[in-house]
Amino acid sequence: MAYVIGEDCVACGTCQSVCPTGAISEGEIYVIDPDVCISCGSCAEVCPNEAITEG
């Protein structure tokens, strides 16, 4: 199951830099493309706000 980024995202970009598939794109808050996400959890591990959860 793909990860999702919640409202606690402050758009710091930390998650985007660690995503091995490039599934995370910048916006008002960052967004994870569920079709590209491989559910590795790298993004959730580095998120300083714990805004990323398994969807």
- Tens digit of pLDDT at every position of the chain (55 positions): 899 999 999 999 999 999 999 999 998 899 999 999 999 999 999 999 999 999 8
Using only C-alpha atoms, what is the Rg of the chain? 9
For residue 1, the model assigns a pLDDT of 85
CATH (residue range 3-54): 3.30.70.20
- Encode burial over 40-55: b for 16+ CB neighbours within 10 A, e otherwise: eebbbeebeeebbeee
Yes or no: say if 52 and 30 are a contact pair by the CB < 8 Å rule: no
Q: What is the pLDDT of residue 28?
A: 84
Return d(Cα 21, Cα 49) in angstroms, integer: 22
pLDDT at 24: 98
